[in-house]
Structure 1
Amino acid sequence: MIELSPQQREIVEAPLRPMAVSACAGSGKTATAVRRLAAMRRRLDDRHGHIVLLSFSNVAVDTFYKDYSTLLQTEPGGSRLGGVEIATVDSFIASNIIRPHGHLVMGCARTPFLVHGSEPFLANFTVWDGKRSQPTTALQLVTVTGVGLQFEVGRAKTAIDPKAATEAIRKLAGVGAYSHALGSFWALKVLRAQPLIRRALARRYPHILVDEAQDIGKLHQLILMALQGAGAQVSLNGDVNQGIYEFSGATGAFLRQYAARDDVDGRMLETNFRSIPSIVAIANKLSGRSDTAARTTPITLSGAYYFAYNKEEKNNALNAFAALLSQAGIAVKDAAVLCRSAEWAGAWAGGEEEQGQGVLRHFVDAAIQRDKFGRFDEAFKYCCTGVVGLLDEGHRSLLSELIRRGGCERSSLALRRALWRFVKDPASGLPSASLVADTAWQPALLARAGALLATLSAEHGLKCGANWKAKLARRNILNRRLLDRQIWGLRMCQGSASPPFIR
């Protein structure tokens, strides 16, 4: 879209005040949010204040950066539209609250750092669930009105004694570590215990826009309301029918309730520019909305179709899908099967039998992510986890520094480049997943990992663990290639991808 619709223009040109925009799928939320951001920056008479646009994924943030930069090039005086920040909700909280101020409530004598659960030193940080020890990093917070904070762990959501959970969390915090789930917990504690920090943040960020606001959980909500209470104006943009974080307590209720407040300007985007009329009609029936489609019905066969299949008979389902593509005149190369998880995508693509154990498993996953799915970012994360697992336990915060987006020190950037070279080069770095695992891939990894560790020691001062070779031993390694061939000719994608046809 080049020209804004009347509803979009009204939102962009609205006065500076808290706003809640409820938008249907395909309604141009990104285009509207970016133009609203630029319009707010022009109207803000504050040389010190920044407007921040937040979302819940790095993909969304990258899109906002690209679109906002493009917009600056087309608007008169665009180069003077500074004072804008775009970030994920978690990175905003980490960079503005946890890392600079978290030590005030965490009881640590260092800058707090994020852990991902695979760091070797975390073996000493567990909590008892009544039957067995669980990783402290697996703890999830549940906020219950009138009861306080409750904790659960695992897929079964086993309740944990609050006292035991609190002790485990504080033990982990004592070394400066926090998990994704606990980051917002510590950030909220900072804001509640430090009114000066609260006011300073509201002064620096007088306007906060949150995209995909249906994914705001209870703790994120409390953090935003704490900043609003200190003077910041909060605007939300989202669709309660598109939530993907319900498992973490994000139900869309906050967006709904916020739009109903008297001090909030509630708006709607009700035109779907993306989907054909039949898709919009189905979406309206499922969501209870009454959105309209801007597109007309295309000539080619299209729409929403449904058929059931047995989980054990996915080959038959793929054959049926291929037959439907043939009837519709759609080439197999132009189609894709979209799955809800990487595990499903791997299984539908032909799958590989799991190989490797412990630290070795991280390198196996890195090779498969690189050579099967072409996901070099995921391969890099797995490889970093594996390398840190081979180092001395003293490098506790290294993994967090390596995979954090932006803000790295020069020494960390040099180290990341060295690891990127290792990940990208199957000839001299991470071995190709097409090699036979036990006779070719594992021996090559062992030799190349030794060379990499020597380089990291000489050039970056890192110390390898005394038993690093034992961690790469042939445990659960088979006499077969890591990577099976993909036999269907269809692209198998995780849900974050954007294929033209979906299952």
Structure 2
Amino acid sequence: MARSTIEDPTESVPDVSVHGQRASGDAGALVDALDPEQRLAVLAPVGPVCVLAGAGTGKTRTITHRIGYLVGAGVVPAGQVLAVTFTTRAAGELRGRLRELGAGGVQARTFHAAALKQLGYFWPKVAGAALPRLVESKIGLVARAANRVRLSPSRTELRDLTSEVEWAKATLLTPDGYPAAAAAAARETTHPAEVIARLYAAYEEAKRDAGVLDFDDLLLLTAAVIEEHRWVADELRARYRHFVVDEYQDVNPLQQRLLEAWVGERDSLCVVGDANQTIYSFTGASPRYLLEFPRRFPEAQVVRLVRDYRSTPQVVALANGLIARAGTVGDSARTPGAVPVASRREPLKLVAQRPDGPVPVFAERDSEPEEAVAVTRRIRALMDAGVAASEVAVLYRVNAQSEAYETAIAAAGIPYLVRGGERFFDRPEVGEAIRLLRAAVRSAEGDRPEGLTAQVADVLAAVGWRAGDPPSGSGAERERWENLAALARLADDMAAADPGAGLDRFVADLADRAAHQHIPTVEGVTLASLHAAKGLEWDAVFLVGLVEGTLPIIHAQTPAQIEEERRLLYVGITRAREHLTLSWALARNEGGRRSRRPSRFLDGLMPRSGASAGGQARSGAAGSGPGEPVGGGQRSRNRAAVRCRVCGRPLAGPAARVGRCDDCPGDVDQALFDRLRAWRSTRAKEQGAPAYVVFTDATLMAIAERRPTSVPELVSIPGIGQAKLDRYGEDVLALVDGRELPESAPSQSTG
């Protein structure tokens, strides 16, 4: 069939049918409540289907209904379908929805889980030996490899080196090919590319010597076994004939290679994704495979889901306005992972389906503490108006920004949780409660309370939990209470859905949730990075710290990197259902120099007058029009040019690092400069590297002259990118502040 694309969300779709035959019964009922575009995707014949699904448009509903419909209509056997996604939570959600739709026999797994199952079966037959042990983390082996190439990285550097090895493997690079690819991708690394290439080779040797595999090897070996052994390909392809890939914009070259090995010459492949939500290209992910799908499969049916059921028209207008201002996103011929410009001619424009809501608020504050206090006051007002704490989120670009909000929210007695910390099922009180619940299932006690809710509450009482008012404040005791309360709410939900459910079923459900990290809702305001917020949504969202140098982050230099930062803000905006606040602070500390500028991404989105200084907040929807001076006016997009801050002349060489001409007056704090040099000497000795590898004299001179007091001010100094910020940022800011550093203390990550 010729490729079909739905452009108009009001366009009609065919009747409910399969290959021209009217479907009946449960299968036909699956499409009755779908919108026209969702229905078209569900009813598309078996073959290549590409669903371009905007934020909040029901993509998971669409793909699960497509699978359920095809299985229910008898077109596709459930056991021949493999649905893959990227997180255990998403895979668990797919399985749960498919069970509800009568398609519980469908395999829904992550790429790695699917590969582990397949390789565990085929490897002994191919290699004549058991599958080698799988290591959970690469860091230990990277440390061993670093020792082999005579490196002594700090813990932070070790993490960065591990990330580089992971990126290289995800993009199918060999050690020899790494330096050129890293340069083309503008990778900012802790060590020269040639050194990392040697470490990468040593890592592979250390892994072979230990006889172990890493998670990337799972995918690579599974693909290789299928490619090199025809009988394996035949057996596997006879088992799985139909494939669905969720979040296809996040696939990397290694995952794409495995997918192609699975599919072979067939074309029963349905992919779902949104290029506007591509925010992981730094890990090797690329939306190219999504955007070029119609080119690879000319007969593919392409469906665009644009009806946004999540957010109000005001939030949707802001999101559309932001993404419409996107510029070039990189030259794909030169930058691995960049999106071809031609592929972005028609970005998805969302069409809001909800009633009107409040207009987004833009708020400018004098300092970060004032910004945090203002956000906290607004959170309290929302809670007083009936918004649950669990339906509120504060989102930021880097994790270091959370401290001010943790302090302000705790001081207000509002419960909160920091997403990305300790996993829910790993928390001591949760583990203890689950152990007691399992013991209760095994026991033969006959005096249990009636009903699942009462039985779970009885067990939780043994670990000190009581229903009712939680402990005051928001400290560890409150957090403990909230975690146990989340288990009690799960029991309430199960009892409401199935009054006959017993404790044994509840414990089994908890085991499944723990295996797939499908965590319950914990009552508290969520604090999370924008990356960690992907795939989630809240009634009220606060996007904070929106200043140049933080969003976009200072080390985003290429057009592709800048546009990824824009998409990160887009993801943040589209997390909000109703209430949305975007804020920034002009200084880090109260009374500090108000030198920060609002993010360039806010240009044209704020009302004409923007947000005034002194803590005023403005409300307004997108639509001021591109090119209008908002929030400080239009600013230069040429981040490569460095000019003297005294006379404005262009600078090059060491003068560019200092930020002024040699003959222009400066104000160097000599005592600070001396402290910095002494600290640099210590760090260089710890690393076994020359002093200039830490910072050059020119960079130290610039620090001593500018005396930065915040992360954005520090990274505005030429020569300080994300890698050096992660390794040395906290030390430098402490030295500028006059604080003493613990002896031989490793610098802390700011990200």
TM interval, short-chain normalised: 0.5 to 0.7
Q: Which residue of 2 aligns with 1:192?
A: 227
| 2:95 equivalent among 65, 79, 91 | 65
Query: Equivalent of 1:376, from 419, 424, 429?
Result: 424
Instruction: Compute the displacement of 1:332 (Å).
Output: 8.0
Are residues 1:285 and 2:315 paired?
A: no
Task: Deviation per CA, 1:259-317: give whole Å up to 9, x if none.
Answer: 3430322111111111111211222223343321111203xxx343334568xx43211
The equivalences for 1:46-445 within 5 A come to 50-72=80-102, 81=103, 83-97=105-119, 99-101=120-122, 110-117=131-138, 124-126=144-146, 131-132=151-152, 138=163, 139-142=165-168, 143=171, 149-150=177-178, 156=190, 159=193, 160=195, 162=197, 165-231=200-266, 233-260=268-295, 261-288=297-324, 289-298=348-357, 302-308=358-364, 313-325=367-379, 330=385, 334=389, 335-339=392-396, 344-345=401-402, 348-350=405-407, 375-379=423-427
Larger radius of gyration: 2
Q: Are 1:214 and 1:238, in contact at CA under 8 Å, matched by a contact in 2?
A: yes
**Contact 2:137/2:214 (CA < 8 Å) preserved in 1?**
yes
Q: What's the CA shift for 1:324?
A: 4.2
In 2, Cα distance between equivalents of 1:106 and 1:252:
35
Deviation of the 1:158 alpha carbon: 5.2
- Is residue 52–residue 205 contact of structure 1 (8 Å, CA) maintained in 2? yes
- Alpha-carbon spacing, 1:169–1:318, altered in 2? closer, same or farther (3 Å): same
249-258 or 41-50: bigger deviation: 41-50
Instruction: List per-residue Cα deviations over 1:322-349 (Å, max 9, x = no partner).
Output: 3445777746864432345766546632
Contact 1:49/1:204 (8 A) holds in 2 = yes
Which one-letter code corresponds to 1:278 in the other structure?
Answer: Q
State the 1:425 CA deviation. 6.7
Q: Is the 8 A contact 2:79 2:106 kept in 1?
A: no
Counterpart code for 2:361: Y
> Residues 283 and 47 of structure 1: is their aligned pair in 2 closer, same or farther, counting only changes over 3 Å?
closer
List runs of 5+ in structure 1 lacking aligned partners. 73-80, 352-367, 384-420, 428-432, 436-488
Shift of 1:114: 3.4
Q: Report how many residues are paired.
A: 376
The AA in structure 2 aligned to 1:186 is: L
- Aligned residues of 2:175 and 2:200 also touching (Cα < 8 A): no
Tell me the equivalent position of 1:418.
Answer: none
Q: Following TM superposition, by how much is the alpha carbon of 1:54 offset from its aligned partner in structure 2, in angstroms?
A: 1.3
Aligned residue type for 2:315? I
Gaps of 5+ in 2: 1-30, 325-347, 409-415, 432-458, 466-474, 478-523, 543-751
Counterpart-to-counterpart distance in 2, 1:181 and 1:189: 12
Amino acid at match of 1:295: R
SS of residue in 2 equivalent to 1:30: helix
Asked if 2 retains the 8 angstrom alpha-carbon contact of 1:277 and 1:296, the reply is yes
Q: For residues 4 and 210 of structure 1, what CA distance do their matches in structure 2 show?
A: 20
Structure-2 change in CA distance of 1:57 and 1:162 (3 Å): same
Q: Is the 8 A contact 1:224 1:234 kept in 2?
A: no
1:94 offset after TM fit, Å? 2.1
Q: Matches of residues 484-503 of structure 1 in structure 2 within 5 Å?
A: 490-493=525-528, 495-496=532-533, 498-503=537-542
Q: What TM-score does the superposition give when structure 2 sets the normalisation length?
A: 0.43
Closer, same or farther: CA 47–176 of 1 in aligned 2, 3 Å: farther
**C-alpha separation between the residues in 1 aligned to 2:191 and 2:224?**
24
Residue identity matched to 1:287:
I
> Residue 40 of structure 1: CA displacement?
2.5
Q: Report the alpha carbon displacement of residue 38 of structure 1 after superposing the two structures with TM.
A: 1.1
Aligned mates of 1:373, 1:63 — CA distance in 2: 22
Report deviation, 1:163: 6.4
Structure 2: how far apart are the matches of 1:8 and 1:47? 22
Q: Secondary structure at the match of 1:500?
A: strand
Show the counterpart of 1:388: none
Aligned partners of 1:375, 1:327: CA distance in 2, in Å?
Answer: 30
Quote the offset at 1:164 in angstroms: 5.5
Give me the identity figure in percent: 21
Are residues 107 and 185 of structure 1, via their aligned partners in 2, closer, same or farther at CA, if it must alter by over 3 Å?
Answer: farther
Give the TM-score, by structure 1 length: 0.62
Q: CA deviation at 1:224?
A: 1.0
Q: Secondary structure at the match of 1:221?
A: helix
Tell me if the contact between 1:203 and 1:232 (Cα under 8 Å) persists in the aligned partners.
Answer: no
